[in-house]
Chain A
Amino acid sequence: GQNIDQPTEMTATEGAIVQINCTYQTSGFNGLFWYQQHAGEAPTFLSYNVLDGLEEKGRFSSFLSRSKGYSYLLLKELQMKDSASYLCAADSNYQLIWGAGTKLIIKP
């Protein structure tokens, strides 16, 4: 079967670092997407990992381990505007398998 899991909700403090994990099991796998979705808005693309390892983009980094079926999104120097849901999606045989999203709450 195809399955993708991520925590439902996380809370972090402004200025801190938070890591959002995602595990997946798919029948085919090409890569792993991360999207950000603010409440009431459409998801926006953050990153796409194909190879194992860490890719950094400013305050946001994404990691992939294909052998472990595991990815994480790392957010540094958290700002209040980072309060949103973060969706991971596995690119599997021409379709995306979506996680339910992790709601990230940032406290001052």
Chain B
Amino acid sequence: SQTIHQWPATLVQPVGSPLSLECTVEGTSNPNLYWYRQAAGRGLQLLFYSVGIGQISSEVPQNLSASRPQDRQFILSSKKLLLSDSGFYLCAWMKESKTQYFGPGTRLLVL
């Protein structure tokens, strides 16, 4: 069966510091991968998606970037965090079924 991992679970970072969030998927190959952000009490905002190694599509211009160095690894990064980057970051994977399955999420607080 497939599983998806995200770490860390929670993170408190000062404004201007760098960020690296990691997501890995097990039990499948060549999945579509997604990064979402969810502000408190709000819906999901798609940040990036990837259909394969090295292929990244950005949905929202911001100070974040994403990379997919391996088939089942998806990384979200920032060189300098802003206060507005606080939120709940969710990674998801999808294959033929079109259903997206989410990881446990990373709660980021930028102070």
Interface residues of A (CB under 8 A from B): 30-31, 33, 40-45, 48, 87, 89, 91, 95-96, 98-101, 103
Contacts and interface: CB of A to CB of B under 8 A. Distances in A.
Interface residues of B, number: 18
A45 B101 contact: yes
Mostly, the A contact residues are strand
Interface of B: 41-46, 49, 59, 90, 98-105, 107
27 contacts: A30-B98, A33-B99, A33-B100, A40-B107, A41-B105, A42-B90, A42-B102, A42-B103, A42-B105, A43-B44, A43-B90, A43-B102, A45-B101, A48-B98, A48-B99, A91-B98, A95-B46, A95-B49, A95-B59, A96-B46, A98-B43, A98-B44, A98-B45, A100-B42, A101-B42, A101-B43, A103-B41
A45 B42 contact: no
A87 B98 contact: no
Nearest to A31: B98
Given A41-B105, A98-B45, A98-B46, 7 more contacts: A42-B102, A42-B105, A43-B44, A45-B100, A95-B46, A96-B46, A100-B42
Contacts of B44: 43, 87, 89, 98
A45 B45 CA distance: 17
A48 B101 CA distance: 13
A95 B105 CA distance: 20
B43 A41 contact: no
